[in-house]
Amino acid sequence: MINPQPVVLEGHGVRLEPMEIEHAAALAAAANDGELWKLWYVAVSGLAPGRETAYVEAALENQRDGHQVPFVVRELTTGAIVGSTRYHDIIHAIDRVEIGYTFYAASWQRTHVNTATKLLLFEHAFETLGCQVVGLRADGLNLKSQQAIEALGAKKDGALRHFQARPDGSPRDLHFYSVLLSEWPTVRQHLEGRLRLHGMTRRT
């Protein structure tokens, strides 16, 4: 039975650090790069100006309840916090986690950061926690996120229509993806190949 806990994960130019209340201002600054909080169909809308402390407090409350493990993403060449991600919807009894609540400052999108972050999270989930499956999901309107997930090598499980409320209260369709433990070696190879194209290795 898996038991995800806050941990530091580092490699490929990024470091994932357990989210703390002290990170609120840096997360707000990252979300303001591109005004990501205006994207009403994603969770980062909770980082609208003045709401950053409440955003972090809610994440930490979910961590205390055992539902999530939130991280900040630090880019190591600059030392700046450039985004956030989480393990969520943790199902301990069947060794399953999902990766989500992910965002990056606009200036760091389409760089090595997302691939490196996902590789660290997949690696920790499968090789340390003992997960049998790692899931991901995306809003039906978030085509960029769907494409990014598919580019990681995850398989699409399907879509649930009118499944959940968005932060603004409107109904959302959700597209679900997953990587099984048996698929992890191929996905790892794929992600490491993408990072090499960015000139990134484990030690950089």
Let me know if residue 203 belongs to a domain: no
CA dihedral 140, 99, 114, 122 (to 10 degrees): -140
Tens digits of residue pLDDT in 11-66 = 999 999 999 999 999 999 999 998 887 876 777 878 888 999 999 999 999 999 99
Residue 204, pLDDT > 90, answer no
Let me know if residue 4 belongs to a domain: no
3-class DSSP assignment, residue 6: coil
The number of beta carbons lying within 10 Å of the beta carbon of residue 111 is 16
> Which tokens in the block code for residue 172?
């959302």
What residues does 80 pair with on adjacent strands?
A: 75
Q: Where are the beta strands (DSSP E) in 125-204?
A: 133-139, 155-165, 171-180
For the ranges 62-76, 85-99, 120-134, 159-173, the lowest mean pLDDT is seen at 159-173
Tens digits of residue pLDDT in 97-112 = 999 999 999 999 999 9
Let me know if residue 97 belongs to a domain: yes
Q: Give me the phi and psi of 68, to 5 degrees please.
A: -145, 160
When pLDDT is cut at 50, 70 and 90, the band that residue 202 belongs to is low
Cα separation, 202 vs 139, whole angstroms? 31
Let me know if residue 127 belongs to a domain: yes
Let me know if residue 64 belongs to a domain: yes
Residue 51 burial (10 A CB sphere; 0-12, 13-18, 19+): middle
Let me know if residue 14 belongs to a domain: yes
Number of domains within the chain:
1
pLDDT for 1 equals 92
Q: Are strands 69-75 and 96-104 parallel, antiparallel or unpaired?
A: unpaired
pLDDT for 37 equals 79
Q: Are 16 and 120 in contact (CB under 8 A)?
A: yes
Domain range for 173: 9-195
Residue 86, pLDDT > 90, answer yes
Distances (CA, A) of 96 to 125, 142, 160: 9, 24, 19
Q: Find the mean pLDDT for residues 127-141.
A: 96
Q: pTM of the full predicted structure?
A: 0.94
Q: Identify the CATH number of the domain in which residue 165 sits.
A: 3.40.630.30
Tell me the residue type at 80: A
Tens digits of residue pLDDT in 153-185 = 999 999 999 998 887 788 999 999 999 999 999
Let me know if residue 1 belongs to a domain: no
Residue written as tokens 């606009």? 106
Q: Find the mean pLDDT for residues 126-136.
A: 98
Let me know if residue 204 belongs to a domain: no
When pLDDT is cut at 50, 70 and 90, the band that residue 193 belongs to is very high
Residue (of 23, 124, 38, 142) closest to 71 by Cα position = 23
